[in-house]
Each structure stands twice: as structure tokens, then as C-alpha cells.
Amino acid sequence: MRITSAEVAALLLSIKVSLFSLVVMLPPGLLVGWLLAKREFRGKSILNTFVMLPLVLPPVVSGYLLLLLLGKNGPIGRLLSNVFNIEVIFTPFAVVIAISVISFPLLVQGIMTGMSSVPSELENAARTLGASPLKVFFTITFPLAYRGVIGGIILGFSKSLGEFGATIMVAGNIPGKTQTVALAIFEAVHLGQDISAFRLVLISTVLAFISIWITERITISKNRIY
């Protein structure tokens, strides 16, 4: 009844790609969240629609569109293969791209909600006290949007851990290379390996539980005073 090496590989891959995606997507997530929450500009609703699109599209559709873009004959895929000699499709990197696209709207939404809740009067007050827009962001907007940002991170990260549809389209289901926990569960059920599937389901549930619990702890202790 011991956990198999394939299961461990799937688990580690899921965690690695999700963390990597989070680190890469957090800066643009903060920027886009801030733009959508705090700025008025032309094309704002187009940006909003574009960012949120993967939330409403079936993941398989997003995955298929990515496949078209990144595939050998796609505009980005051809560029990468001709100039850098890199193949993206069916690699762990493709997993990162897939889960990043799918989880980005959730990350941005959390950040946006957090930042919208910071009164612009406080930011203006900080400006009159001599703070540059960048200082205002790091000393006022970001600390006060903390809860929303953490919420977005956890939601996005959990979504990444469990992403299935887009991943299987662009990365395939290659054990040890692109097989994440979700894909491994799918395969186990498909092959009638119920015990293996059950172990992975249990592990995913525990992971989700821990991440939510950690968030709760962080947000409660950090925000006790105000």
C-alpha cells in the first residue's frame, strides 16, 4: 500500500509547477490588479475581459488556443523553435503556461478586490505627505490590500494544483514529465487503479486544506489590529 514513485513524481511536479507559476505570475498579477482597481485608462474593459476570459472559457478551449499559439505552426511556437530552438509543447514548461493562464484570473481577482477596498483618499493623503506613487503602492496600497492579495494567491495556487483541461491539451499526460496529480488521478481511474486514485485524491484534499488553513492563520494574525 505504499505510495508509488510515479505518484510522488506527479505530486512533486504539481507543487513545483504551481509554485513556479505563482512566482512568475505574481508581479504581472499585482500590476494588472492595481491597474484594474486603481487606474482609469482607455481599453480598461478590454484588458479586464482579456484577463478574465479563461475563467469562463472551458479549460479545454483555453488549452486548445494555447496549442494553436505554441504549437510548431503557431506564431509563438514557430518563433521559439526557429530563434531559440525551443520546443514548448509536451514539456513541463507547457504545464506552467497552461496553469498560469487558467489561474491568472483568480489571482488578479483577489488582488483587485483587495486593492479596490483601499480608499483612494488614503493614497492621496500619502501623496500629499511626499510619497511617490511607488512608495504609496508599497507602504499603503499593498499592505492594506494584504488579505485580498493572499486570497488571490491561494485561490490561484489551488487552481494551479488541480488544473486538468488546459494542461492535458498543451502538455499531454507523460508520467514523470508532464503528469500532474490531476492527470495522474485521471489515468489511475481510467486504468481501474482505484487505490492509487484514492491516495492521490486524499493527498490533493490535504494539500488544499493546508493551504487554506495557512492563509487563514496569516490573514488573521497580520490583521488583528485593524
Partner 1 sequence: MSENTNFLINIRKRFGNFTLDIDCKLQEKVTTILGASGSGKTTLLNCISGTLSPDEGRIVFGNQTYFDSESKINVPPDKRHLGYIFQEGYLFPHLTVEKNIRYGQSRLQRKNRNSISQVVEILEISQLLERYPNQLSGGQRQRVAIARALAMEPQLLLMDEPLASLDGGLKSRIIPYLHHIKNNFEIPIIYVTHAIIEAMALADEAFLLDDGKITASGEPNQILASPSALPIAHLTGVENIYSLPVASSDQQRGITELEIGKQHLVIPYIDVEIGKSVPVAIRAEDIIISLEPNLPISARNILEGIVDEVEDQTMLSILVEGHSFLVKITHEARQQLEISKGKNVYCVIKANAINLLWQDS
Among the listed residues 23, 21, 182, 200, the one whose alpha carbon sits nearest the alpha carbon of residue 94: 21
**Considering the rule CB under 8 A, would residue 131 count as an interface residue with partner 1?**
yes
Nearer to partner 1, 41 or 226 (CB): 226
Binders in 142-171 for partner 1, by CB under 8 A: 143-144
**Binding-residue pattern over the window 26 to 55 for partner 1, x denoting contact by CB under 8 A:** ------------------------------
Query: Considering only residues 58, 75, 119, 176, which one is a binding residue for partner 1 as defined by CB under 8 A?
Result: 119
Give the shortest CB-131-to-partner 1 separation in angstroms.
6
Instruction: Scan residues 69-88 and list those touching partner 1 (CB under 8 A).
Output: none
Contact with partner 1 (CB under 8 A): which of 45, 85, 128, 221?
Answer: 128
Q: Which of 14, 51, 26, 57 has its CA nearest to residue 156?
A: 26
A 10 A CB-CB count for 132 gives 10
C-alpha cell at 153: 494567491
125 lines the binding site for partner 1 (CB under 8 A): yes
- 157, 38 contact by CB (below 8 A): no
How many Cβ atoms are within 10 Å of 176's Cβ, its own excluded?
10
Point out which span in 32-40, 130-138, 150-158, 166-174 binds partner 1 (CB under 8 A): 130-138
221 binds partner 1, rule: CB under 8 A: no
Q: Does 5 bind partner 1 (CB under 8 A)?
A: no
Secondary structure letter of residue 3 according to DSSP: P
Closer of 68 and 131 to partner 1 (Cβ): 131
Amino acid at 10: A
Q: All 3 cell numbers of residue 40?
A: 482609469
Structure-derived torsion over alpha carbons of residues 152, 158, 160, 166, reported in degrees to the nearest 10: -110
Shortest distance (Å) from residue 123 CB to partner 1: 9
- The CA distance from 139 to 132, in Å, is 10
Residues that bind partner 1 (CB under 8 A): 119, 121-122, 124-132, 139-140, 143-144, 225-226
